[in-house]
Chains A and B, each alone.
Chain A
Amino acid sequence: MWTWFHRLASPPSFYRLAERLAPWLGLGAVVLLAFGWFYGLVYAPADYQQKDAFRIIYVHVPAAAVSLSLYSAMAIAGVIVVIWRIKLAECVVVSIAPVGASMTAIALVTGMLWGKPMWGAYWVWDARLTSELVLLFLYLGVIGLHEAFDDARAAARACSLLAIVGSINVPIVKFSVEWWNSLHQGSTIFKMGKASISPDMALPLYAALAGTFLFCAYAVLRRIQNELLWRERGTSWAKEHLSAVTVH
């Protein structure tokens, strides 16, 4: 089992696996997002209290959910980097950060656009909003730290440590609306018991969620491929691969 695992984690074989996997993830993302957003924006009924304004949920909730999942994945990869020093895991850490930062920024901006008409304010310093902003800074910190090193491996190790330390923020974001009074409402779908959203509205939300996850998986895989090629540019497999690519 371990030999299989080590073979998978070797740069050329993972590169080939990603090459086969990525188009399917991308295709799945396009199909699910097209269905979810079209259904959500056109066919789903308007909400009883927020009317049509609630429809921004189809962008906001997937982006916010993915921002937390990606951070968790980055922190887990960080643990693998620090303990086992696996090169592939180093690429995972540095590849996730920009995608996660983008999703966090989307969640924050769509949240502000939603907050103004519904709550009456773009921004309040409640626990949920503040901790999500901290999440953005953690992602930006990882990106900045990575740029600050010349040696790729040392950079990845430093980034991994920051990712691990920052992972304490993930449960804080998740449970902030339960632990403390906040202006942000509680969870609608990611909670124990039944989701408090009617099926007609929930179906496109789940589709948009799955689509956003697939898109991020696609984006991260492609970044990992790039990172692997760059790091291994001197090796024969990378040279072979690059010579096969025609430059237009």
Chain B
Amino acid sequence: MRSITVAVLCAAICGAAGAAAEEKPVLLKQAPGRDKVETNCAVCHTLDYIVMNSPFLNAAGWDAEVSKMINAFGAPIGPTDAKIISDYLKSNYGRDARG
């Protein structure tokens, strides 16, 4: 239920920013976990932030970024989703990404 709510709110907010800043959709690599990244991360920022910060972060670097979003910026992401998101970022946008 919660994730559906977040997705709906995200869509609403993305629409709002689009009116203000002509926001274009940012497509991330198709891989397991992408849906969690899209519904959680995009609440606060567009997904270009992820692509922009790649592919130089190692696994610890991406863990630190996800922790920062939760602990410093208050992203409402539980431990299960946080791990899925971190794993996706490491595998797809990390220094040792599979490509």
Answer yes or no: do A and B interact: no
Point out residues on A near B: beta carbons under 8 Å. Answer: none
